[in-house]
Amino acid sequence: MAGGSCATLLARAVVVVGLLVVGVPRVQPAYGGLAANKGGSLFTSSANIHSLFSVEKDMAQLLKRYIQDQEHRLQQLKGLVDVIERTPVPPTDNDLEPQDSFGLLHRMVEGMQHVQELFENDVQREVQDALTNNGLPNMDDLKGGAQGLLRLQRVYALKPQELLPNASAPELLAIGQEAYNQNDMASADRWLEFALSKLDDASANYVTALDYLAFVAFKLRDLPRAIEYSERLLQRDPNNTRVALNLEYYNVTLNRNRSLPDPHAKDKADAHDDADVRHDRDNILGHSEEDMERFRRLCRGETLYHPQRPLTCELKHYNQPHLFLKPIKVEHLHEGRQRLQVFRQFASPEECRHLQHAGKRRLERAVAWTDGRFQPVEFRISTAAWLQPDHDAIVKRIHGRIEDATQVDIEYAEALQISNYGMGGFYEPHFDHSSRGTNPDGERLATFMIYLNPVKQGGFTAFPRLGAAVQPGYGDAVFWYNLQPSGVGDPLTLHGACPVLRGSKWVANKWIHERGNVCRKPLPGETFTAYSSAEQRQQHCTPRLPVT
């Protein structure tokens, strides 16, 4: 799904939630300063976003019924008002006739009771129930969607006009405001300028965009533009004291040469602010700028790894009879000990669709270990579900095929994780192994990941320290070892999920643990020795000969 469609849908849905359906709708600001409610996570999954389209269509039909009901109700209210206005008021209480008194009481009791009933009809309750019980997106979702678009802009070096060419001015203004809230002034400048170009100068949003742009220009040390925007604001609102004081400060600063703008100040500010915000927003885990820059370059499809000898492909059957007729298709992506491999056409389209369907009903916001517990985090934007090996025959078959392809024991592996990435969904560079050492089955020895759908654009798996990236292929799987032969985590396995630029991304992850594999020889001539004592090896090692 294109980023523009997702952004538009989220914006429309949040505005619908903001309607106060009691007579007259309450106007909802375009972005409301992003006073986020707790719990919004629809934006993390393309499956959730797509389901909103049918919800929105149903809501439109319900609102049509509500409009018809409102029109009928207004006609009845107009009739009651006409009766009241036509009824003469006696000059004094002494002029009251019995008919006047009873007529008034009847109108006040029966008439007002009818008015109350008009405001408590079934259609209105149905609309209110739909707004509160349908799991519609909230301001957290709109904020997350805007952050996803800003991430796409930064990682893929795109202009707003390239990313959302057909977006409405309120949508562009919302994204610019979120960039401003992130202190990403360079991005805010671009989005707000694009919004301004689409706004009528008589609209309230035009004033809002100018107000933001004046301060953004000041923060970017572009005082002439800050002065220009402030003067345009004062033309619309001459009594705005705050803008007048700001304008005076900008002029004094410029005239006293305290901060004369360099002709290239804008470019310098852009570079400075972009670097700062990348560190703040896309590098929450605190990796080096070199790692992050290589990650972004790999996401954009640049070639960073130049092997000394040609990489190879091969068909592997491991002397197993059932693999002779259908061997494993292996492509080697790196010549180092990491043994980064892709298994082509590992899963059939039918199997991929089955895994998606099985996981879709169980999707929840993906979590990561941070601050001593698993919780949703900003450096991992996706949803996930878990399927046990005995979930069904297809899942069981996939587990067996993983063991055939990798030649490692997966008896103590984790359940199959199905993940779905939504608008701008990504996973910041990270390691799959940890340093906690608390799992009785040992560390995550290896990672096996199946790509369950053809991603339209973006969504690579990038290894910045290896200089390699894997482009998602329908049914392909990527495999690598997370540990060195000593059992210590391998720093070269730093990897991340590039943001999804167009479409969606579904993957199935299988994390294979040390237990059951420490006596095997998954790498030529090497043995994993994480369990050093004889007692540990006896407890955790499955005694079988390695396959050669």
Q: What angle do CA 83, 89, 91 make, to 5 degrees?
A: 170
pLDDT at 258: 53
pLDDT at 186: 94
pLDDT at 281: 56
Structure-block tokens of residue 43: 């934006």
One domain for residues 156 and 225: yes
Final residue in a domain of this structure, among 73, 107, 136: 136
pLDDT at 545: 37
Q: Are 344 and 473 in contact (CB under 8 A)?
A: yes
One domain for residues 251 and 128: no
- Amino acid identity of residue 419, one-letter, is S
Q: What is the DSSP letter of 413?
A: P
Q: In the block, which residue shows the tokens 């949003």? A: 205
pLDDT at 391: 93
One domain for residues 424 and 359: yes
One domain for residues 58 and 115: yes
Final residue in a domain of this structure, among 136, 161, 187: 136
Residue 30 lies in a domain: no
Count of structural domains within the chain: 3
Q: Give the residue from 493, 488, 414, 498 showing the smallest Cα distance to 458.
A: 498
Q: In the block, which residue shows the tokens 């008896």? A: 411
Q: What is the pLDDT of residues 419-459, one digit of tens each?
A: 988 777 888 999 998 766 667 788 899 999 999 999 989 99
One domain for residues 105 and 156: no
pLDDT at 519: 64
Residue 538 lies in a domain: no
Q: What does the longest C-alpha to C-alpha distance in the chain come to?
A: 114
Q: What is the pLDDT of residues 90-99, one digit of tens each?
A: 887 667 667 7
- Amino acid identity of residue 119, one-letter, is F
Residue 106 lies in a domain: yes
Residue 295 lies in a domain: no
Q: What is the pLDDT of residues 299-343, one digit of tens each?
A: 999 999 988 888 999 999 999 999 999 999 999 999 876 579 999
Phi, psi torsion values for 181, nearest 5 degrees: -65, -25
State which residues of the chain have pLDDT below 70. Answer: 1-45, 93-94, 96-97, 121-125, 127-128, 130-136, 257-285, 337-338, 365-382, 435-438, 518-548
Residue 165 lies in a domain: yes
Residue 351 lies in a domain: yes
One domain for residues 90 and 146: no
Q: What is the domain range of residue 146? A: 140-276
Final residue in a domain of this structure, among 136, 159, 192: 136
One domain for residues 371 and 494: yes
CATH number of the CATH domain containing 235: 1.25.40.10
Structure-block tokens of residue 364: 């929840």
One domain for residues 145 and 126: no
Q: Report the run of H or E that residue 330 belongs to, with start and end.
A: strand 328-332
CATH number of the CATH domain containing 513: 2.60.120.620
Q: Are 349 and 342 in contact (CB under 8 A)?
A: no
Q: If DSSP codes are grouped into helix, strand and coil, which group holds residue 104?
A: helix
Other beta carbons within 10 Å of 231? 15
Mention every residue, 6+ apart, whose C-beta is less than 8 A from residue 513.
Answer: 412, 413, 414, 439, 441, 442, 443, 444, 445
Q: Is the dihedral of CA 206, 172, 379, 51 positive or negative?
A: positive
Structure-block tokens of residue 132: 């509160």
Residue 8 lies in a domain: no
Q: What is the pLDDT of residues 44-66, one digit of tens each?
A: 667 777 777 777 788 788 888 88
Per-residue buried b or exposed e for 159-170, using 16+ beta carbons within 10 Å of the residue's own CB: ebeebbeebbbb
pLDDT at 37: 34
One domain for residues 108 and 238: no
Quote helix, strand, coil % in the chain, to nearest 5: 45, 15, 40
Residue 183 lies in a domain: yes
pLDDT at 503: 86
One domain for residues 348 and 493: yes
Helices (H) and strands (E) in the chain, counts: 18, 17
One domain for residues 147 and 128: no
- Amino acid identity of residue 277, one-letter, is V
One domain for residues 157 and 104: no
What is d(CA 239, CA 482) in angstroms, rounded to the nearest whole number?
Answer: 64
How far from chain centre, in Å, is Cα 114? 48
Q: Report the run of H or E that residue 470 belongs to, with start and end.
A: strand 468-470
